[in-house]
Amino acid sequence: MVNGGVLLREILHVDMDAFFVSVEEVRDPSLVGKPVIVGGDPDGRGVVAAASYAARRYGIHSAMPLAKARRLCPHAIFLRGSHGVYGDFSRRVFKVLEKYSPLVEKMSLDEAYVDLTGCQKLHGPVLETAERIRNEIKKEVGINASIGIASNKLLAKVASAFVKPRGILWIAPGKEKKFLEPLPVGRIPGVGPKSFERFKRMGVKTVGDLVALPKELLEEVYGKSGNWLYLKSRGICTSPVSGHEEDSRSISRETTLETDSQDARFLESTLSYLVEKAATQLRASDLFVRTVTLKLRTADFKTVTRSHTLKEPTSEDHVIFNIAVNLFRKRFTRKTPVRLVGISLSSLTRESSVQTDLFEQTSHEQRDNLYQGIDRIRSKYGFRSILRGTSVHKE
């Protein structure tokens, strides 16, 4: 759809309803309609991995300790879970999704974004396509999905959560504000229970209440989170659906120098350049890196590699560069000239560190926006249009 010359994206957030439980119900239809909890031994220390809608009526939800779930509903059926089987079902769900678009971003076993922009001619109107997808998943795999459709990922996700179970909701272009503003503020992904309580004390109950607050005030009260809230409450999200597969095991960049070098500053700037190239690809694939490996080949053709593994995955140039340069400084001696410099990013993950609440999330979110901006300019004007100070020495 084109609006004022801007191509509006059509993004689906497809989320299976009570996925683990639904799979168990397909395998044993006698479970249908009963309070079923997947998560293991109710006498053990585990937590609920999934609860059927019948179980949720007793106040049971995922991540609740199993012992508590048992107190709330002693006659519930507790299952340990069959994780290999869930993987099989998940693959079958994704097979259906991939028929409809090459841009399917897997968020977990049972949840994905599907970008249908430009697929009208092929599949017809987006709402009908969503219905077909839902019906096909039900027919082929046997489980129910809910689907949110909107012009960006944030709104699509809010929409699918809103219509669960078995719902489809399309937020038509122009209706975003009308949909979002009456919702409780906790519906914004990233606003956790703690922030929710804090908002309540401030008299902010709905997303609309939040929108009514001036940006300056949000920034004053919430610091860096203020801008994040400002954007999210208005339904603004620029993150693209990334169809890249996670199985690209590593991202590597290396370069053989035109002449062998013993100049530490030159070698470090080369390294900085390589880090930026690798990190740009990392972010374009919506991935985070845990392990950074430096590779050096000396003029006598000896190759050494040195790795460092981070506690928290990152996608930020300066974090990766600091690791790389520390590895370099530990390794480099001026005795033998260097012939080749390389950097490799591995242990790639889809998630950054687990952040459940907004206040820890914001600085990352903002930095993501910054880097997305940098990457956009680079893809338009060429990589060298933006380089770090250190990289410039290479010119």
Token pair recorded at residue 56:
């949720």
Specify the stretch interacting with Mg ion by CB under 5 A; choose among 109-117, 222-230, 233-241, 306-314.
109-117
- Indicate whether 25 belongs to the interface with Mg ion (CB under 5 A): no
148 lines the binding site for Mg ion (CB under 5 A)? no
Q: Min. distance of Cβ 126 from Mg ion in angstroms?
A: 21
CB of 61 to Mg ion, least distance (A): 13
Which residue in the set 15, 25, 115, 365 belongs to the binding site for Mg ion (CB under 5 A)?
15
51 binds Mg ion (CB under 5 A): no
**Separation CA 14–CA 85 (nearest Å):** 20
Nearer to Mg ion, 10 or 15 (CB): 15
Q: Does 86 bind Mg ion (CB under 5 A)?
A: no
Give per-residue burial for 332-370: e unless 16+ CB within 10 Å, then b: beeeeebbbbbbbbbbbeeebeebeebbebbebbebbee
Should residue 110 be labelled a site residue for Mg ion when binding is judged by CB under 5 A?
yes
Tell the smallest beta-carbon distance from residue 19 to Mg ion (Å): 5
Which range, of 79-87, 97-105, 108-116, 283-291, touches Mg ion by CB under 5 A?
108-116
Beta carbon nearer to Mg ion, 147 or 251: 147
Least spacing, CB of residue 130 vs Mg ion, in Å: 16
CA dihedral in degrees (183, 208, 369, 174; nearest 10)?
80
> Does 365 sit near Mg ion (CB under 5 A)?
no
Bridge-based pairing of strands 250-261 and 303-314 is unpaired
H/E stretch holding 163: helix 153-163
∠ at Cα 103 (101, 108), nearest 5°? 110
Of residues 19 and 228, the one with the C-beta less far from Mg ion: 19
| 142: region left, alpha or beta (phi > 0 left; psi from -120 to 50 alpha) | left
Give least dist CB 81 to Mg ion, A. Answer: 15
- Our finding on whether 158 is near Mg ion (CB under 5 A) is no
Q: Residue 115, interface with Mg ion (CB under 5 A)?
A: no
Closest separation in Å from C-beta 18 to Mg ion: 7
Select the span of 82-90, 106-114, 151-159, 275-283 touching Mg ion (CB under 5 A).
Answer: 106-114
Q: Which of 235, 174, 226, 169 is nearest to 207 (CA)?
A: 235
Q: Does 287 bind Mg ion (CB under 5 A)?
A: no
Q: Six-digit token pair at 62?
A: 């995922």
User: Applying CB under 5 A, which part among 10-18, 152-160, 264-272, 361-369 lies near Mg ion?
Assistant: 10-18
Q: Which is nearer to Mg ion, 110 or 176 (CB)?
A: 110
Single out the segment in contact with Mg ion by CB under 5 A; choices: 91-99, 107-115, 324-332, 362-370: 107-115
Q: Across the chain, where does the E strand assignment appear?
A: 2-3, 6-7, 11-16, 36-38, 50-51, 77-79, 104-108, 111-115, 145-150, 168-170, 250-261, 288-298, 303-314, 338-349
Number of residues that bind Mg ion (CB under 5 A): 4
Q: Pick between residue 11 and residue 275 the one whose CB is nearest to Mg ion.
A: 11
Nearest partner of 90 among 104, 105, 111, judged by Cα? 111
Contact stretch for Mg ion (CB under 5 A) within 19-27, 224-232, 301-309, 370-378: 19-27
Give the separation between CA 225 and CA 360, rounded to whole angstroms.
9
Cβ neighbours of residue 135 closer than 8 Å, sequence gap 6 or more: none
Q: Cα–Cα distance between 37 and 47 in angstroms, integer?
A: 10
Shortest Å, Cβ 204 to Mg ion: 28
- Is residue 316 near Mg ion by the rule CB under 5 A? no
Both tokens of 22, joined, read 């639904």
Please select the residue that binds Mg ion; options are 11, 14, 16, 207, rule is CB under 5 A. Answer: 16
Instruction: Give the single-character DSSP code of 377.
Output: H
**Gap between the Cα atoms of 363 and 388, Å rounded:** 20
Q: Nearer to Mg ion by C-beta: 19 or 86?
A: 19
**Contact set for Mg ion, span 326-355 (CB under 5 A):** none
Q: Which is nearer to Mg ion, 19 or 113 (CB)?
A: 19
Which residues are marked as active site?
Answer: 111
**Minimum CB distance to Mg ion, residue 224 (Å):** 30
Task: Return residues touching Mg ion (CB under 5 A).
Answer: 15-16, 19, 110
